[in-house]
A and B are shown apart, each in its own frame.
Chain A
Amino acid sequence: MKRFQLGEFEEIVLLTVGVLHGNAYGVTIKDEIEQRLNREVSVGSLQITLRRLESKGFLKSTPGDSTESRRGRPKLFFEVTAYGKKALDYCKESRDELWKALPQMVLNLK
């Protein structure tokens, strides 16, 4: 059943926001994904994904203070909502189910 619409990249972003707990804004999220997953992330795709997740209700954002390093531009901090947590839970569970259902032989073959 498709209860939560969560794409692969969306899932990664959502998880990363959770990982960064309290310090998740554009730059940190980008850095975190790039370091941990060793994959290039463009500002454009990250921003789009963040906004989409926010509009779906998985994330909520709060503007932070402006800092010198950003020439007066505010940071926008993201936080996983309860609904977002549910989505992640669902995601993990459904994956686990599938893993469990995988016959042993198939795994051995790998």
Chain B
Amino acid sequence: MKSVEPPRFILRFLEWFCKPEYHADIEGDLLEIYDRRVEHWGRNRANLHLCKDVLFLFRPGIIRSAKIHQPLTSNGMIKSYFLMGWRNLWKNKLYSTLNVLGLTFGMVCFLLIGLYVYDELNFDTQHSNAERIYRVITHEKSPNNEATTVAAAGYMVAEDPTQTFANVERTTRMQRIGRANLVDPENPVNVQEAITVADEYLLQVFDFPLLEGDRRTALKEPNSIAITEELAMRIFGRTDVINKNLQFSHMDNPVKITAILKNHPKNSSFTFTSVLSESTRYSNEEFMREALSDWTSQNYTVYALLKPDANADSVSSKITRLVHANVTLEPGTKLSYNLQPLKDVHLKSDGIIDGARNANVDPIPQGNPVYVTVFLFTAILVLLIAGINYSNLTTARASSRLKEIGVRKVIGAVPGNLIGQFLVESFITIVIAFGVAVLIVAVLLPSFNEFANKKFLLFSSVGLGFWAAAAGLIIAMGLLSGGYAALLLSYFKPVSLLKGLVLKSGSDFSVRKALVVLQFTISTVMIIGTIVLFRQVHFLNESNLGFNKDLMVVIDVNVGKARSNFDWVKNEMSKIAAVEQVTVTSHVPGDWKTLVRVKLKKEGGSDQLHTAYVIGADKDFLATYGIELLKGRNFGNKNDTSAVLINEAAAKILGITHVSNEAVEIPQSARGSSFAPVYDDINASFKPRVVGIVKDFHFQSLRAKIEPLIIAYHDNPIYPIDYYSVKIQPQNIQATLEKLKAVMVANDEREPFEYHFLDEQLARFYIEDQRSQTILGWVALASVVIACLGLFGLATYSAQQRLKEIGVRKVLGANLLSIMALLSKDFVKLVLIACCFAFPVAWFGANWWLQEYAYHIDAEWWIFALAGVITTGIALLTVSYQAIKAALMTPVKTLRSE
């Protein structure tokens, strides 16, 4: 019987994938079974089963491995590199551990700081048009050359510029209008919230992600409000509240929720939780009358979305021209506009006053470019130190591997092979260290987030770029430091290697010395930086501000009744036993909010206008805050509406030396940029009399110099009272607070009790410094630890190298101390040289940074001495461990082999 032929293709498929050594007999089996099946079932079914059998044979174990067809060399070599590398690392556990530890330390620092810097640099980049969004900045120069730069503009600047400018796609204006009570009418719970008003284009220029609602229409209708999910949770306890109503305490109509915004990310300059549609105000005739003629008020934050190919400079000069065409400026005043890119808002707004910021509004996170730069540098420096460590330890170990290298060379390894070998070794080390570092970062991240006030995730979509870059940089660093060692090790002459010649302290050793010096220079600079920072922050916290900040409770005034009824409230508060004194003010000294500025001149004096800050206060202000009255009198009990006190700085620029009821004039037209339109009915100039001069006190952060200040009576046309300041006694603070709350509630039950302690509030000025102090402190510590790990390795190595020498010396009668000195001397010398380099660098750096503060410490000599002692001490400790170990060894052991 002629046998039936099986389908050829399937057998060929088998031949293609099957291991050749298995192929013949498996095919035999298959054919035997096939023949039987044909007999039994017939051809078709047998074919089908054969196909099935072959397909089931397609599995690992039977499939031939791909590499058989490739040349053996490269793959095999790399495999052997890995094997050898792994064995070498395993064999020298001490060095491997030191290497991995040092690298890990460096990487953890680098990654954490890197995350911080990355976040700071990527502020506001979440908007898809971020590249094209600009903030309008107003530059104003008064006739006497006082310049102000304000991140705000008038209403009309943003009034449909698409008509006027070809290059502007859209503008939007927003205004933060202070706090208001928001209530859910169905379930009244008071929520005090800072309110932002914005026109309908806000959600189109910026793409704040919406949970619900239509971004094109959300802010169009009057009485519409968009709120964040966080605020929705606070008011309603859920987020699906679109189309629900909210009631403002001081508005007749309820507002409708038209959009739910996602919470802002931490790296956003926007912190608002609610946006009220600007059209809500259009029915207010007074508002519209003012708005339509308002070109220069600096009450609105204006953002412009430019067309893709637009030039920001030409747009800003158009704005300047437009404004000039619509207003007549006072002679001598200069006014110009420019556009600040959105990405610069966070870090490059130094010296720009956030003019549209109103009272009672939370501050916007403002970055400090100095710290970002310093951090970026330290991150890279720490990585550098770790890299130096690695190559130092590797080259130091070279001589113990000289024989290995020699044998490899004699067998026929070219430098390329050896470099490959060493590179693979360092690659393994780096990958291990990186893995450990990422693990540590993952563990540390929650506490780091809390501390840095950030919200980092280990692998978020935003951070992927960062991780790729960080991994790339770290591996590049590792390969570079490994590569240096590899190059060095692979170029020795094989003959001398095999003869067992010890690597003489040639060129490589001096390079290693230089690297140790560099490491310790960096570490010492960091230690000095930390001490200076620490001292400065301490100084800021402890320095005499010219007023009394301790035990001062500041209570916010929110509802009108608390303002108008303040006499009663003050009286009730004074009755509490633990309350020493109460005062009402418009601002508190050391307030982080923008103070109101006015322009003024001395009556009867020259026409020159000066700028001064204004605080409104009552007669108890000076006593409560402990501010010293130098001349004249305090406010009296009678109506002193037209009396003011001034500080020394103001007295100086106004030229007031004697207080004889001299008057100053604050013209209405020249009220300051941050003028809050509260008493709009007063159109005439405000001409108060100066009744007293007070000693200068720091009413702003210590970064700023003390500026001229006017303390107006609480009932003044410039700014109403906003705070109660209560000086309390230290006992039972909680009980006192409860009593204070009771007074506020008794006055108006809608009034929420919002308070803070003044000293805590003041500390917020320096929170960034404190944070940096901590970060820098840890980095300095890490860098010292890393450098010492390296030193430890080098000392171990050098002790091992000199074991015999030490043995001989001991036999000849050297004592412990002299041997320790012998071994430590070289290293301590290096550290001392490092200090010499570090001192001037640190001195310049510290002075540069301290310049930022109007009031600062000096970089004193003892700081440097202390840092020097710390580094040298730590280095000495590190080395002496090895030195003692070597010195205590029995010479018999070390000398026996000779």
Binding site for B on A (CB under 8 A): 25-27, 30, 42-45, 47-48, 51-52, 63, 66, 69-71, 73-76
Query: Can you list 29 pairs linking A and B with CB atoms under 8 Å apart?
Result: A25-B25, A26-B26, A26-B28, A26-B32, A27-B29, A27-B32, A27-B33, A30-B33, A42-B53, A42-B56, A43-B53, A43-B56, A43-B57, A44-B53, A44-B56, A44-B58, A45-B56, A47-B22, A47-B26, A47-B29, A48-B61, A51-B22, A51-B62, A52-B61, A70-B29, A74-B24, A75-B29, A76-B25, A76-B28
Chain B residues within an 8 Å CB radius of A74: 24-25, 28
B283 within 8 A of A: no
Contact A51 B61, beta carbon cutoff 8 Å = yes
Binding site for A on B (CB under 8 A): 3, 22, 24-33, 35, 52-53, 56-59, 61-62
Across the interface, name the chain B residue whose C-beta is closest to A26. Answer: B29
Known: A44-B56, A44-B62, A51-B62. A63 touches B32 (CB 8 A): no
Chain A at the B interface: mostly helix, strand, loop or mixed? helix
A79 to B62 Cα, complex, angstroms: 20
Chain A residues within an 8 Å CB radius of B61: 48, 51-52
Contact B27 A73, beta carbon cutoff 8 Å = yes
Known: A42-B53, A45-B56, A51-B62. A63 touches B25 (CB 8 A): yes
Most buried by B among A63, A69, A71, A75: A71
Contact A70 B31, beta carbon cutoff 8 Å = yes
Contact B25 A73, beta carbon cutoff 8 Å = yes
Chain B residues within an 8 Å CB radius of A25: 25, 29
A61 to B649 Cα, complex, angstroms: 104
A105 to B29 Cα, complex, angstroms: 48
A45 to B59 Cα, complex, angstroms: 9
Closest-CB distance, B27 to chain A (whole angstroms): 5
Chain B residues within an 8 Å CB radius of A73: 24-25, 27-28, 31
Contact B57 A75, beta carbon cutoff 8 Å = no
A71 to B58 Cα, complex, angstroms: 23
Known: A70-B32, A73-B27. A44 touches B57 (CB 8 A): yes
Contact B32 A69, beta carbon cutoff 8 Å = yes
Closest-CB distance, B58 to chain A (whole angstroms): 8
A30 to B32 Cα, complex, angstroms: 12
Known: A51-B22, A51-B62. A71 touches B3 (CB 8 A): yes
A25 to B25 Cα, complex, angstroms: 9
Chain B residues within an 8 Å CB radius of A52: 61
Most buried by B among A45, A63, A70: A70
Most buried by A among B29, B33, B52, B62: B29
Across the interface, name the chain B residue whose C-beta is closest to A70. Answer: B28
Known: A43-B56, A45-B56, A69-B32. A26 touches B25 (CB 8 A): yes
Q: Which 9 A-B pairs have the closest CB atoms?
A: A73-B28, A26-B29, A44-B56, A76-B25, A70-B28, A44-B57, A43-B53, A42-B56, A48-B61
Chain B residues within an 8 Å CB radius of A48: 59, 61-62
Chain A residues within an 8 Å CB radius of B53: 42-44
Closest-CB distance, A58 to chain B (whole angstroms): 16
Chain B residues within an 8 Å CB radius of A75: 25, 28-29
Chain B residues within an 8 Å CB radius of A43: 26, 29-30, 33, 53, 56-57
Closest-CB distance, A72 to chain B (whole angstroms): 8
Chain A residues within an 8 Å CB radius of B62: 44, 47-48, 51
A42 to B62 Cα, complex, angstroms: 14
A47 to B193 Cα, complex, angstroms: 75
A47 to B19 Cα, complex, angstroms: 12
A108 to B109 Cα, complex, angstroms: 68
Closest-CB distance, A35 to chain B (whole angstroms): 14
Known: A27-B33, A70-B32. A44 touches B59 (CB 8 A): yes
Across the interface, name the chain B residue whose C-beta is closest to A42. Answer: B56
Chain A residues within an 8 Å CB radius of B33: 27, 30, 43
A52 to B22 Cα, complex, angstroms: 12
Chain B residues within an 8 Å CB radius of A47: 22, 26, 29, 57, 62
A45 to B57 Cα, complex, angstroms: 7
Chain B residues within an 8 Å CB radius of A66: 28
Closest-CB distance, B43 to chain A (whole angstroms): 16
Contact B31 A71, beta carbon cutoff 8 Å = yes
A69 to B35 Cα, complex, angstroms: 8
A52 to B56 Cα, complex, angstroms: 16
Given A44-B62, A47-B57, A47-B62, 11 further pairs, Cβ under 8 A: A25-B25, A30-B29, A43-B29, A43-B57, A44-B53, A47-B29, A51-B22, A69-B32, A70-B32, A71-B31, A74-B25
A76 to B30 Cα, complex, angstroms: 13
A5 to B56 Cα, complex, angstroms: 24
Closest-CB distance, B370 to chain A (whole angstroms): 64
Chain A residues within an 8 Å CB radius of B26: 26, 43, 47
A50 to B28 Cα, complex, angstroms: 15
A75 to B24 Cα, complex, angstroms: 8
Chain B residues within an 8 Å CB radius of A76: 25, 28
Closest-CB distance, A51 to chain B (whole angstroms): 6
A46 to B77 Cα, complex, angstroms: 36
A66 to B25 Cα, complex, angstroms: 9
A76 to B58 Cα, complex, angstroms: 20
Chain A residues within an 8 Å CB radius of B27: 73
Across the interface, name the chain B residue whose C-beta is closest to A29. Answer: B29
Closest-CB distance, A5 to chain B (whole angstroms): 15
A2 to B736 Cα, complex, angstroms: 74
Chain A residues within an 8 Å CB radius of B57: 43-44, 47
Across the interface, name the chain B residue whose C-beta is closest to A55. Answer: B61
A31 to B57 Cα, complex, angstroms: 18
Across the interface, name the chain B residue whose C-beta is closest to A46. Answer: B29
Across the interface, name the chain B residue whose C-beta is closest to A72. Answer: B28
Chain B residues within an 8 Å CB radius of A71: 3, 28, 31
Closest-CB distance, A96 to chain B (whole angstroms): 32
Closest-CB distance, A60 to chain B (whole angstroms): 14
A76 to B23 Cα, complex, angstroms: 11
A92 to B653 Cα, complex, angstroms: 106
A52 to B61 Cα, complex, angstroms: 8
Chain B residues within an 8 Å CB radius of A70: 28-29, 31-32
Closest-CB distance, B602 to chain A (whole angstroms): 99
Chain A residues within an 8 Å CB radius of B24: 73-74
Chain B residues within an 8 Å CB radius of A27: 29, 32-33
Chain B residues within an 8 Å CB radius of A26: 25-26, 28-29, 32
Across the interface, name the chain A residue whose C-beta is closest to B56. Answer: A44
Across the interface, name the chain A residue whose C-beta is closest to B27. Answer: A73
Chain B residues within an 8 Å CB radius of A45: 56
Across the interface, name the chain A residue whose C-beta is closest to B33. Answer: A27
Chain A residues within an 8 Å CB radius of B28: 26, 66, 70-71, 73-76
A25 to B33 Cα, complex, angstroms: 12
Most buried by A among B3, B22, B26, B31: B26
Closest-CB distance, B773 to chain A (whole angstroms): 58
Across the interface, name the chain B residue whose C-beta is closest to A51. Answer: B61
Chain A residues within an 8 Å CB radius of B31: 70-71, 73
Across the interface, name the chain A residue whose C-beta is closest to B28. Answer: A73
A51 to B60 Cα, complex, angstroms: 12
A73 to B59 Cα, complex, angstroms: 22
Closest-CB distance, A66 to chain B (whole angstroms): 8
A76 to B31 Cα, complex, angstroms: 14
Closest-CB distance, A47 to chain B (whole angstroms): 6
Closest-CB distance, A107 to chain B (whole angstroms): 39
A30 to B57 Cα, complex, angstroms: 14
